[in-house]
Amino acid sequence: MDLDVLLPKLLCIAWLLPLASFTLIVFFGPRMGKKGILASYVAAGAIVTSFILSLIAFVSWIGANGVAAPGGHHGDEHAAVSPLPVDASNSPSPMRLASLADTHAADSHGHDEHAVHEVHKPVAYTGTWYTLGQFGDLKITISYYIDALTVCMFTMVTLIASCIHFYAIGYMHDELHDITDTQVLVTKGYRGHGHGHAGHGHGAHDAHAHAHDDAEHDDHGHGHSDLPPPPAGYDYLHRPGRFHRFFQYLSLFCFSMLGLVIAGNIAMVFVFWELVGVCSYFLIGFYIERKSASNAANKAFIVNRVGDFGMIIGLMALWGSLGTFAFGDVDGQQGLFSQVRNSAHNYELRTPDGMVLQAASDEIARGVEPTAKQIETWRSEKLGYWLLVIAGLGIFCGCVGKSAQFPLHVWLPDAMEGPTPVSALVHSATMVAAGVYLVGRFYPMFTPEVLLVIAYIGLITLFIAATIAITASDIKRVLAYSTVSQLGYMMLALGIGGWSAGLFHLITHAFFKSLLFMCSGSVIHACHTNDMFRMGGLRKKMPWTAYTMLAGCLAIIGTPLFSGFYSKDAIVAQAVMFTKQNPAHGILLYGFAGGAAMTAFYMFRLWYMTFSGKPRDHHVYDHAHESPKVMYVPLVILSVFAVSVGWTMPFFGLSLTNLLEQARPAGEIGTGVLLPALSYPAEYLSHAPSVHLIATLIASATAAGGFLLATLFYGVHKLDAADVKRQFNPIYYFLVHKWYFDELYNFIFIKPLFFVSSIISKIDKNLIDVFIDKLAVGVKALSRVDDAIDRYVVDGFVNVIGNWTYSAGRSLKAVQTGKLRQYVMFIVVGTVALTVIMQWALAAE
Amino acid sequence: MNLLTEPVGVAHFMVVGAIMFACGVVCMAVKRNALGVLMGIELVLNGANINFVALGSKFLQKDGAFSLGLDGQFIALFVIVLAAAEAAVALAITLNFYNNHSTVDVDRANELKG
């Protein structure tokens, strides 16, 4: 079967299987086996099958398109040759021809006599599965856009999700029984459980209103045999387990995430974007009775809405001017990418005609004929360019929300209220990476100015998050801030033109961060606390967890030969190239390097505090135990990938970067139009040995520096952390309070909002309500009058007529004598009388 | 005009029809036997029939007079058919009445009076 037929089919099934599992669990979940245990097998079976299908798709992709990066951009010998693009695909079917051109290029790669590089349109299969509706020109479809990036993402998401499903079977086993949640207090005798809303309203009292400050909570409500007795007058909340519900949400999430990845148009992306958002909301609020969890869920949802607002603006800008949502060309209609970067213009970024016309609508109304030449003039006057910038910024705004970038990063750390498998899957590996993925997918549409914004947002995010992670004491929060920071890296990489570097880091990060989260989950599972200050020395108790986590830590800080090294190296190299070309933006490189050092520091602070040294809390230490096999086997699998996913496979030549190169958007980013000084170096230039050497040195030095510092503080205790804390007290508190972002937002947005709402509620109560009340009283009086009229006038009239009819009937009753012969006489007499009358009347005429 | 001296024409038939009609009406009015009443109805109908036939016959018209064609005869045929149908229904009713009351006296049929 051809790849363009096979891939959509395979990936469609892989995409829909989790939906089937979700549907099954929704309807039959509680009845699936004992307490719904089978639900987990259904969900895991679906996602594993999806993974196998994705793997087949992955292998067949390599079989058809090879493992080499397209074009000759990758040999270092070409680094100096400036690419002179020649349009190779000026034909009705650019997709197929482009792939032909690729194979041709791969063949001619060795003997590169013509020093001209062809501009390669990436191989992509686009098409429509189903048209949901058509309103004029607007076509809402379920379509696909499959390229190397899609296939890689599918494989990555399904692999990690499979591991996490199995892990969750072990992690969530408490939910198979009734649960006593020690974090929710209810008044004695309260019997709200079993109704699903044993919530706060009914005299329930929340023990953990400040859960994220004291970092005392664990995911598991059940606790040990020696529960501390609840305070007088209160009971711990007792509720039935929700095992099946967890897997139901996981399945829905997998479906949404895969739909987001495979989506062939931005409207479909938006739909699945919201779906993953709502899944995240459900999963963060899984322990809904805890006020902290439900608050965190609300926070995540609302903060994401802010970003989505921008995204909708971007969508409107695109639809209003370009008239399509599709990424690629479908059915002869130009998609977004080819409108912005057309093969007729060497895939250079040009303001599309639609946007030019939109911007020039005033002049057209004035009577200027929009000829092709006139459009060209307008284009050179930068008309419509700002529309492209707004569209790009709008889409990026959505990505800021979903990928927890500054200033919307505040929701992600709070999202750690959800169960740890969720943190691993949704809030580190996949969903939050969706923003980065969308930036990568939408890359051809971004102008250099927008990319610069992306770079700076990424930089700010990575710096802020890294500093906060240094002081966090909650093991999951350290990882959460680390996630935010790493997402910042990816955004920064994409923003400085490192397309494949950023997406490469997205995939390597997904593996090691999900691994780290699952390890932390394993620790929490063993210790029943999140607080690192109560751990220590756990290495001996849980060796599997400790050493897989060590592998994750080494990967994230970028130790050579670990996957993180390769991706960070690529980003640093691009940063070096970029700052060389744009010295004004040198801070991008320095900030990056500083962030890398901090990453190494806080990751090893976490590892040392948890696993090495002496136990700080013997109660916790004595209860700790290695997790069951179903939990640590996924850890081992993931750690293998976390180490090796960046490698180039020996003999086979398969490497993730080359594969991603196959999906690289065609054309150069070029120089800015609004900022002419800004110019982007092509990414392949950063593969030059001179650049790479510097990059490797920077990356390794910063990582080693951070690692050594952490070792001095927490490994060998040569330096005293408490001492440093005392000396830099203001800074320490600034960081512990997370740069006061929550307080700031509370002051800027929430307080004014409450103030305005209180005014509005007063207006509502004192003005509108009173008016309505008075109106109601008036209507009541009016209806009394109406009632009287109805009762006495209308009814009376009807009654009178009724009585008349009745009495007439009574008197006429006597005529019915029942004597047949009498009736005949009546007839005869009547007839005779009629005849006589008629005669009489006729005679009178 | 003296009917007895005139040649037989429409008027004579109409007199016969009127006599039959009157007999029928009287029969309906005075008979207590339901079958007698039915016979009276037949007389009434056939009295009317005679009028139809007579007025429709072209042999009874004066020359040049307006002819009704065969309409009268057809209406008479319809009336005969209707009379047959009506007789069938009426006899069935009578039979039922007899079954219930062991008599066909119409004066006993006063259960539906007001």
Taking an 8 Å cut-off on Cβ atoms, the answer to whether A828 and B113 are in contact is no
List the single best residue of B110, B111, B112 to mutate versus A (max A Cβ within 10 A): B110
Q: Which of residues 8-47 of B touch A (CB under 8 A)?
A: 25, 28-32, 37
Q: Measured between CB atoms, which of A815, A818, A824 is closest to B29? A: A824
The β-bridge partners of A341 are A349
Taking an 8 Å cut-off on Cβ atoms, the answer to whether B109 and A816 are in contact is no
Sign of CA dihedral B26, B30, B31, B37: positive
Domain layout of chain A by residue ranges: 178-239, 447-736, 743-827
The proportion of chain A whose per-residue pLDDT surpasses 90, expressed as a percent, equals: 32
Task: Indicate the burial class of A834 (C-beta count within 10 angstroms; 0-12, 13-18, 19 or more).
Answer: exposed
Structural contact between residues B106 and A820, judged by C-beta atoms closer than 8 angstroms:
yes
Q: Measured between CB atoms, which of A816, A821, A825 is closest to B106? A: A821
> Quick one: how far is CA A326 from the chain centroid?
20
What is residue A817's DSSP assignment?
-
Q: What is the CB neighbour count within 10 angstroms for residue A560?
A: 13
Is the pLDDT at A581 greater than 80? The verdict is: yes
Amino acid at A23: T
Taking an 8 Å cut-off on Cβ atoms, the answer to whether B29 and A818 are in contact is no
| pLDDT tens, residue by residue, A303-358 | 999 999 999 999 998 888 888 888 888 877 788 888 888 877 778 888 888 888 88
Residue B24 CA to residue B40 CA, distance in Å, equals 4
What pLDDT score does B63 carry?
Answer: 62
Whether A1 has its CB under 8 Å from any CB of chain B: the answer is no
Residue A410 CA to residue A404 CA, distance in Å, equals 7
Taking an 8 Å cut-off on Cβ atoms, the answer to whether A817 and B30 are in contact is no
How far A828 CA lies from chain B's nearest CA (Å)? 7
Q: Compute the CA torsion angle A761, A767, A768, A772 (nearest 10 deg).
A: 140
Amino acid at A150: T
- All residues of chain B having their beta carbon less than 8 Å from the beta carbon of residue A828 are 25, 29
Q: Average pLDDT over chain A, rounded to whole?
A: 83
Whether B109 has its CB under 8 Å from any CB of chain A: the answer is yes
| pLDDT tens, residue by residue, B45-88 | 999 999 988 888 777 766 655 655 677 888 999 999 999 999 99
- Yes or no: domain B10-104 corresponds to CATH 3.40.640.10: no
Q: Is A811 helix (H, G, I), strand (E, B) or coil?
A: helix
What pLDDT score does A144 carry?
Answer: 92
Is the pLDDT at A111 greater than 90? The verdict is: no
- Tokens 């004291």: give the residue: A214
The β-bridge partners of A263 are A144
| pLDDT tens, residue by residue, A652-688 | 778 888 888 888 888 777 787 778 778 888 878 778 8
Taking an 8 Å cut-off on Cβ atoms, the answer to whether A818 and B113 are in contact is yes
What is residue A87's DSSP assignment?
-
Whether A826 has its CB under 8 Å from any CB of chain B: the answer is no
Task: Copy the structure tokens of residue A3.
Answer: 């790849």
Q: Which of residues 48-107 of B touch A (CB under 8 A)?
A: 106-107
Task: Copy the structure tokens of residue A617.
Answer: 């809390």
- Tokens 């949502």: give the residue: A325
How far A813 CA lies from chain B's nearest CA (Å)? 5
Taking an 8 Å cut-off on Cβ atoms, the answer to whether A813 and B114 are in contact is yes
Locate the DSSP E strands across A324-465: none
| pLDDT tens, residue by residue, A782-814 | 999 999 999 999 999 999 999 999 999 999 888
**How is the beta sheet containing A179-187 ordered, strand by strand?**
A204-206, A179-187, A234-239
Which residues, 6+ apart, have CB-to-CB distance to A513 below 8 Å?
A424, A428, A429, A479, A482, A483, A486, A552, A556
| pLDDT tens, residue by residue, B23-37 | 998 998 888 899 999
Q: Compute the CA torsion angle B35, B41, B43, B44 (nearest 10 deg).
A: 160
Closest CA to A243 of A341, A170, A303, A155: A170
| pLDDT tens, residue by residue, A270-283 | 999 999 999 999 99
Whether A811 has its CB under 8 Å from any CB of chain B: the answer is no
Domain layout of chain B by residue ranges: 10-104
| pLDDT tens, residue by residue, A47-85 | 999 999 999 999 998 888 887 777 644 443 333 333 333
Least confident of A127-136, A178-187, A458-467, A490-499: A178-187
Pairing state of beta strands A138-146 and A179-187?
unpaired
pLDDT category, A178, cuts 50, 70, 90? confident
Amino acid at A776: A
Is the pLDDT at A118 greater than 60? The verdict is: no
Taking an 8 Å cut-off on Cβ atoms, the answer to whether A814 and B112 are in contact is no
- All residues of chain A having their beta carbon less than 8 Å from the beta carbon of residue B106 are 820-821
Residue A536 CA to residue A532 CA, distance in Å, equals 8
**Predicted ipTM of the assembly:** 0.80
> Quick one: how far is CA A592 from the chain centroid?
25
